[in-house]
Structure 1
Amino acid sequence: MFPVYDTVCVMLEKSFSQWSNDDKKDFLNSEKPSPILNVNKTAKVKDKVYIRNFKKSWYSEFAWLCGSYYLNKLFCVPCLIVSVKATVWSKYGFNDFGNVTRALRKHEGSSDHMRCALGFSKLKKNLTTIEDALRENSRLYIKQFNENVQLNRRFMELPIRAVLFLGKQELAFRGHNEETTSINRGNFKELLEAFVSISPVDIQEHYKKIASIFAGNSKTIQNEIIDCIVKCIDEYVENEIKECSFFSIQVDDSTDIAHKSQCSIIIRYVNLEGKLVERFLGFHDVSCSRTSEALFNLVTRCLQNFDYKTKLVGQCFDGASVMSGQLNGLQAKIKEQAPQAVFVHCLAHRMNLVLQQSCNSITKCRIFFATISGLPPFFHHSPKRTNVADSIIGRRIPVSVITRWTSNSKVISFINKEWDSLKQVFTEIINDLTSDQASVRQSDGFLNKFHDFEFVLLVVVFNEIFGMTDILFDTLQKKSFDINLCIKQIKSVQTQLNKKRNEETFKNIFELAASKTSVQTEHRDGRTRVTLSRDQIIERYRVLYFEILDTIPLQITTRFQDMEKLHFTSKFKTYSEKFPTEALSNLKEFYSNTFTDFQRLKNELQLIYSDDQYQNMEPRLLKESLFENRSIFKEAYKLLCLILTIPSTSVSTERSFSCLKRIKSYLRSTMSEDRLTNLAKISIEKELLNELIVSQPFYDDVINKFANLKDRRIALIYKQ
């Protein structure tokens, strides 16, 4: 048994609202708990020592004051009974007896105490309305709380809008000096201040009140808002993918400014609204391992929530991460899990760029293409260099065109045609006394390359190869739906490349290169220079030549090995005279799990082929035309969605933009921070973001996610 009954301790264990009516009446009619507390507080001011003792007169001076014998703390009776907030005076107890008088007066004048005192007064006047008084006090508190939450949420829209604006425009968030005294505190802080300044007056006043505890412009807040926005995008995309019938993936890579190989994954599908979309799933660092096993694990990890084993119908890869040495193994591993995932060459990629990347495994080729890619920037970065070139070459080809080149095959073709003129350009820049050091240094480097027989030989070799593959690329771009023609052109290029793999062709190319510059007989073997005979030189470059002609056909074979499976993507107008039985059989063989009724599919296609309205339509337009009647043409509509989903059928008229190009462009211009993927996703998916803002409670969703993070200093969730 406790020697003293401590009412305060009882009330803390079981709230007053849960007491029986009799117990409530007994408490309200009895004396308040007024124990003498054990206080031994000493303070030293200058040379004097003061001892603070507990004064029982505090209980009479402040009628609302009570105490706990066992806790040795002071409490407020009205707050203990009425308040729904956990404060010092209602739950934790006050024991700072060095400042007790000031604290008592401060609490007595607070709005929370006044509200609780008013409720307590009503309780004492009418004991039968205790529960109503408590409920009313709680209602008033919740109303006031929710009004504050509403202001907080309205303010939170401002930093969210700032993040969206900067992310969509691909602008930097932070400045070099973000101090208050700085003229430019960074784009985010300046933009947020501008948004606040044009906000309604109540938001401006509210911001002044909360600015000291939550300004909303710190780097942490920025990152958290970015994360919440991206989570909303990811949730929408994930639901969209789960609802679609099938999808394909595109894997590409670029190197960011930190020289890390960033692998990007894009997923492509037709959504329930009949719209062909490409969604960016993110960047992934693949610098540590580019093996087929590592890339396979990465891809399957990204697709594990999307039922990829039955829905994945197409796959395409590009970039150094999936060079020819790993390409075959990677796509084969995916096919083991998803047998319907045909491997295709995405027409967003230039054929010669793909072939160049396949040759990067050959060191001499990698050095060669690094030199080639440096020529357009050499002229682009200096109008003076361009003027020199224009004065010599511009009579035939304006050299300003060089600054717009994106294809190394065009650069190689230009070098091959203007060999002597370019040497003259570099010589004139070197001899010009007004040329800057960078121009002289780079011109000397290019001129040395033009006298290097190995460089000359590779110019001749790749000019021959790219001349053929450029024609193939043009055919694949313009005739992508004529699969028979594409297959014929691919086989033709492979045959031509194989014909060039012989001794006679090599000697002709060798002599052509020798006519442009002299053959060096001295070569480095480590740090030592050795002199080789002509036969030894020929043998050395023969090995290089045959290695190139082994690599490129292998890459073409690997990239187009599944082309035979795509007969069903041919233009429909060719089927009006003769039904494509072979294509239907091909479809049945590879996509038997996708189509449930092939007889119905055949009947629907026959009806479409016989209608003049549909005969000249390409699949994209035909799909849009059949969208309203997709319940009638159920299987045919599914086939059109499949055709558009596979990346090989992508042509310029079917996409207003290239997702891959936007990723690469953004990656080159962004900062090397951890939020790279999230910022890229905001930039790339700006069209989707605009749709979500219009059709969804987007800002509320972002704020709710933000509110559920830890350490929120302002209330953002309404009380019920």
Structure 2
Amino acid sequence: MSIDKFFARIPKFQSANSSSQNSPLFRENVNHPENPPNNDEQSQEVDVNSLKADPAKRLAILKYHPNHRDTVRRAYIQKGPCQPRNHNFPQTEMSGALRRFNFKWFNDYPDWLEYSVSSDAAFCLPCYLFKDEDVHQRGGDVFSSRGFRSWNKKDRFGIHVGGPNSDHYKAKKKCEDLMRQSQSIQVALDKQSSQAKMEYRIRLIASIKVVRFLLGQGMAFRGHDEGISSSNRGNFLELLRYHTEICDEDVATVLRKAPKNNQLTSPAVQKEIIRACAIETAKVIIKDLNGDYFSVLVDESRDVSCKEQMALVLRYVDRRGFVMERFIGILHVRDTSASSLKESIASLLAQHSLSMSYIRGQCYDGASNMQGQFNGLKALIQRENRSAHSVHCFSHQLQLTLVGISKKCDEVAGVVNLVSAVLNVVGASFKRRDELRDAQILKVQKALEVGDLQTGRGQNQELGLARPSDTRWGSHFKSFVNFILLFDSIIDVLDIVGTDAESSDERWKARGFLDACLKFEFVFMLHFMKNILSITNELNAALQRKEQDIVNAMLLVGVAKKRLQMTRDTGWDSLIDDVLAFCIKHDIEIPRFDSFYVFRGKSRRKVAEYTVLHHYRVEVFYKVIDWQLQELNSRFNEVTSDLLHGMVCLSPSQSFANFDIEKIMRLAILYPDDFTSEDIRFSSLNGIGDLSKKLVETKKHLVYSHVYRLIRFSLLLPVATASVERAFSAMKFIKTDLRNKMENGFLNDCLITFKERDVFVCISDDDIMTTFQNMKTRRGQLD
């Protein structure tokens, strides 16, 4: 008897790879990947933060490694079905009529029905998670992979559900069994007494409390190495020991008797607890949003490890009528192109069952990938949602205004560069800073002796050297003010450096800076720019407020323009008096104003055809202010004029003095998808923000629904990306040089809980514990 009777012979010319694919053994294992991963790939955990929320874009469950499938399933079950209730569902012609998905179907099938925004199709979450390769459900694989689009056949949902023995019910039962840890094999093999469960609960709560404290303070958990394999326990164990000492005796006894292999103190479990905290924090924010309209604020910055991080903040009006700006996560983008950014924003919103069709405002900086007229992120979102009006960050526009002036005016650029260079020289070493401090103390003592300064609480404080930053033009104002106040001390330090410095290069630089600082032109420009920046500095500070609305912001811009115009008309005399007094006090030569002006850097024989007075008053004073006003008028005109005029009409200041029904109606036209009638009525209140709050308090927002909607849209338009910048400040506080190995998921979870601490502190330990327990099958059990 030949062996060929039982096994088919493989031809010699057939490759081993092709024979393995045609063999019965391979056909029986179609559920496994074609190229099994090596041991390193098997050990790598799945990043649940990067899982696609859109059902049409998800990777098939069978394509995950078998060791990771349950982790992916648990993550999707915890997130729940993707149900963007606020999406503007498109219409499709079917059987001679226009049909579309009805969001009310989510109420009929809340635990399994999903909707894909990208493919306009319905899916089933349990069937996606547990549909086997050879299972033929009712409707085939329509609800698990292809998607259902026959909106005129709602009865197909009921057919898909079927009876108690249907494939849908079996998949749903598997989801329930997966999340019911009491029925898992591991729990069955490891029966625990009520005492063991109680001790596990105590240890878990202790770990959660320590994690909460470290997250709230932005502190490191283990030290410089925050990677998965880190063995340094650091702050976590120290705080756990302290927590044990201050606990009740019974609780302390349980914590002291914890087994040596207690995994609740391991780095991996710490990250899972942090992830549970971030999930619950995001849930509260999305619940507070309540499926309402919102605006997006996006900006990018590099972290300490030189990785580009893109932060997303939602701006919305909560149920009480208050304007809220909440950070919801870091965008994971392949590159910073507009298309990738749009896809990342849509994916992050879909994770929270939010739709881009409910965006009513966008706020970015001036980067081309953001503000591009044709292919920028603003344009891509507006093509999909015509009501998503974009507002260029007001604070950034203010900075660009000053940047434009510095490029046009040589005198402005000169004083900015000279102040920055002098501060670098004076503050180059601790010795020079000490010399500056000693000189400042001596000047204050002399001024107090002669009575030039007054004593009192908070007066005559030590001033620092605030170096200006090109991206934060508000810092220039502080630098100019401190430079004027510390002028004598700075001159003394430059004189010392120019005489005693070891390097001839340093001595040459110090002498050159000293000579430049003792010129009338520098003193004039220093005082002039201080006065100009004092006006724009107040506007810049106002724009950084967290609850600033666009109506008040435009009013503040108008006030700044009026003050600049007033300075141009009547500010010359006071400015020149201050400059002359300063020059006399510091023995600086004052030029004759009736002589001809000589250009710097040119021969004295090539004089100008106008006087010194004409140069400083006309060529500098008037011209710089005119350029400033021109830049403000041009840059703060990017929002549609009808949009702003309509919003100003909504302001109830001075008994609705700006009320104009025609402008308000044009404002409603700009949101064509949100208004179907023209019922516009108002109630007299003060301030557009207070009007929103008062309407909710008196429940008149239910009566005047259209008015309240217009007010919300006015408040939704963002003014500045200040909240995003605060998120970056928090990121730099969390991810430091000693914690530069944090991966993006861990950084995102820490940042959400730290940035939104007021939300995080209100979350109960039980909610965090439940989320943590459901993330995977635990050996420890809860009651």
Change (3 A) 1:161 1:325: same
> Normalized against structure 2, the TM-score is what?
0.52
Q: Does 1:595 align with 2:675?
A: yes
Q: 1:703 corresponds to which residue?
A: 772
| 2:244 aligned counterpart, secondary structure | helix
Corresponding residue to 2:293 among 243, 246, 249:
246
Contact in 2 for aligned 1:521/1:534 (Cα 8 Å): no
Report the Cα distance in structure 2 between the residues aligned to 1:352 and 1:379, rounded to whole angstroms: 34
Report percent identity of matched pairs. 19
Query: 1:259-658, aligned counterparts within 5 Å?
Result: 259-284=306-331, 290-304=336-350, 307-318=354-365, 329-344=376-391, 349=395, 352-353=398-399, 355=401, 382=433, 384-389=435-440, 391=442, 400-402=462-464, 407-411=474-478, 413-414=480-481, 421=488, 424-430=491-497, 466=533, 469-470=536-537, 473=540, 481=551, 485=555, 557=634, 560-562=637-639, 564=641, 565-570=643-648, 571-574=651-654, 576=656, 579-599=659-679, 602-603=680-681, 605=682, 608-609=683-684, 615-620=685-690, 622-624=692-694, 626-629=696-699, 630-648=701-719
Q: 1:550 to 1:582 in 2, by over 3 A?
A: same
CA distance in 1, matches of 2:302, 2:225: 29
For residues 517-566 of structure 1, the C-alpha deviation after alignment (integer angstroms, 9 at most, x for no partner) is x98969xxxxxxxx9x999xxxxxx9xxx999999977974554116212
Structure 1: distance between partners of 2:258 and 2:374:
56
Contact 2:336 2:369 in 1 (8 A): yes
User: How far apart in 2 are the matches of 1:676 and 1:451?
Assistant: 50
Partner Cα separation in structure 2 for residue 293 and residue 260 of structure 1:
20
Unaligned runs of 5+ in 2: 1-186, 227-231, 454-458, 568-588, 592-597, 608-618
Q: 2:236 and 2:509 mapped to 1: Cα distance?
A: 44
Matches within 5 A, 1:45-194: 144-145=192-193, 147-175=195-223, 186-194=234-242
CA 1:464/1:561 → structure 2, altered by over 3 Å: closer, same or farther? Answer: farther
CA distance, structure 1, for counterparts of residue 515 and residue 370 of structure 2? 31
Question: Cα distance, 1:236 vs. partner?
Answer: 3.3
What is aligned with 2:150?
none
Deviations 1:433-491 (A, max 9, x none): 7x9x99x99998677667789x9799799769746644765787899635774575688
Matched with 1:258 is: 305
CA 1:240–1:324 in structure 2 vs 1: closer, same or farther (change >3 Å)? closer
Residue 780 of structure 2 aligns to which amino acid in structure 1? A
d(CA) in 1 for partners of 2:271 and 2:527?
51
- Do the aligned partners of 2:200 and 2:781 also contact (CA within 8 Å) in 1? yes
Structure scoring higher RCO (CA < 8 A, sep ≥ 6) equals 2
What is the match of residue 39 of structure 2? Answer: none
Q: Per-residue displacement from partner, 1:641-684 (whole Å, max 9, x unpaired)?
A: 3333322399xxxxxxx644642432333223223332221111
The AA in structure 2 aligned to 1:702 is: T
Q: In 2, are the aligned partners of 1:416 and 1:463 still within 8 Å (CA)? A: no
SS of aligned partner of 2:313: strand
Q: 1:60-80: per-residue Cα shift (whole Å, max 9, x none)?
A: xxxxxxxxxxxxxxxxxxxxx
Larger Rg: 1
User: Aligned residue for 1:223?
Assistant: 271
- AA aligned opposite 1:693: S
**Alpha carbon RMSD of aligned pairs, Å?**
5.8
Note the alpha carbon deviations across 1:156-179, whole angstroms, 9 max, x for none.
11111111101111222224799x
Distance 2:465 2:671 in 1: 46
Deviations 1:350-369 (A, max 9, x none): 7654556789999x999889
How many Å separate the matches in 2 of 1:357 and 1:295?
27
Q: Which residue of 1 aligns with 2:611?
A: none
Output the amino acid matched with 2:730. Answer: Y
Name the aligned partner's letter for residue 645 of structure 1. L
Cα offset, 1:423, TM superposition: 5.3
CA displacement, residues 494-530 of structure 1 (integer Å, 9 cap, x when unaligned): 9999xxxxxxxxxxxxxxxx999x98969xxxxxxxx
Cα shift readout 1:698-720 (whole Å, capped 9, x = no counterpart): 23333324544xxx5x32356xx
Call closer, same or farther: CA 1:659–1:496 in 2, change over 3 Å: same
Aligned in 2, Cα 1:317/1:285: closer, same or farther, shift over 3 Å? Answer: same
Q: Does the 8 A contact of 2:320 with 2:693 survive in 1?
A: no
Tell me if the contact between 2:319 and 2:696 (Cα under 8 Å) persists in the aligned partners. no
Per the alignment, do residues 140 and 294 of structure 1 end up closer, same or farther by CA in structure 2, a change over 3 Å counting? closer
Number of matched residues?
Answer: 522
Is the contact between residue 316 and residue 345 of structure 1 (CA under 8 Å) also seen in structure 2? yes
Change beyond 3 A, Cα 1:669–1:475: closer
TM-superposed CA distance for 1:294, in Å, is 4.8
CA gap of 1:302–1:482, structure 2 versus 1, over 3 A, is same
Distance change >3 Å, CA 483–CA 676, structure 1 → 2: closer
Task: State the 1:267 CA deviation.
Answer: 0.8
| Kept after mapping to 1: 8 A contact 2:695/2:708 | no
SS of residue in 2 equivalent to 1:266: strand
More helix by share: 1
Distance 1:465 1:327 in 2: 36
Q: Shift in Å at residue 281 of structure 1?
A: 2.0
Inter-partner Cα distance in structure 2 for 1:252 and 1:208: 47
